[in-house]
Amino acid sequence: MFSGLASTPPTPARIGPNAVLQTFRALRELEAPEVARQVDPGLAPADEWPAGMIPEGWFAALVRELRAALPASRSEAVLRRSGHHTADYVARHRIPAAFRGLLRLLPARLSIPLLLRAFRRHAWTFAGGGRFGIEGPFPGTLLLDGCPTCRPDAAAGLEGYAGAYYEAAFEGLLRIAAPDVRVREVACQALHAPLCRFEIALTAPTAGTPCESS
């Protein structure tokens, strides 16, 4: 069983650029151009961004602007699609083909814990200044403390769970290991829970098999 929360790098926190790039992509796909233009967090043009990771605050600012411009059902639909796009990009460009192939050959009781260990090693790339952890029996529950979409400044005025981006991204990546996996946010710091919790489930679950320890 995995437990505890992984530490994160010192401030200023950084995050993978797909959090921002794919959110803009999803916004253009789901909203009319004039609506998309209203969402302007004041970021530098993409060709002027730093190489590699970007400031986490850019993603938080984009989320805040998105939620201010759109009703909750539409802003969270954009973030959910962004999470799916991010998962697809990471799966194709950041996870070696040999590892993806291995995961698809293994049964879920082995492939999911193996992929979750990779999540934990690279948590700082998607959690920003937040902390990530995994707990519970197979298939486990993902934990986020202080993730950018669920902090008070980004989730102000949102009446509901604020982790749609992460819910979709986790589910998309875990489907490399188990195509029938589902991820559902069951507690959120935006609603004053101690942690954001994302429950992993299989449509045909295998009960009683613990996650391997890290």
pLDDT digits (tens, 9 = 90+) for 119-139: 988 887 899 889 999 999 999
Average pLDDT of the residues in 133-151: 95
Q: What is the pLDDT confidence band of residue 6, given thresholds at 50, 70 and 90?
A: low
136's CB contacts (< 8 A; 6+ apart) are 1, 211
Does 208 fall in a domain? no
pTM of this structure: 0.89
Whether residue 64 is contained in a domain is answered as yes
Give which of 9, 43, 36 is closest to 129, Cα–Cα: 9
Is residue 210 in some structural domain?
no
CB 174 within 8 A of CB 87: no
Question: pLDDT confidence of 192, banded at 50, 70, 90?
Answer: very high
In a domain, 144, yes or no: yes
Average pLDDT over residues 134-159: 93
Three-state SS string over the chain comes to CCCCEECCCCCCCEECCHHHHHHHHHHHHHCCHHHHCCCCCCCCCHHHCCCCCEEHHHHHHHHHHHHHHCCHHHHHHHHHHHHHHHHHHHHHHCCCHHHHHHHHHCCHHHHHHHHHHHHHHCCHHHHCCCEEEEECCCCCEEEEECCCCCCHHHHCCCCCCCCHHHHHHHHHHHCCCCCCEEEEEEECHHHCCCCEEEEEEECCCCCCCCCCCC
Say if 108 falls within a structural domain.
yes
Q: Which CATH number characterizes residue 121's domain?
A: 3.90.1520.10
**pLDDT tens-digit readout, 82-105:** 999 999 999 999 899 999 999 999
What range does the domain containing 12 cover? 5-202
- Per-residue pLDDT band at 210 (split at 50, 70, 90): very low
Lowest-confidence pick of 1-5, 178-182, 206-210? 206-210
Asked whether residue 187 is domain-assigned, the answer is yes
Q: Is the peptide bond before 71 cis (omega within 30 degrees of 0)?
A: no
Assigned domain for 213 exists? no
Indicate the pairing of strand 54-55 with strand 141-145. Answer: unpaired
In a domain, 211, yes or no: no
Q: Give the number of domains in the chain.
A: 1
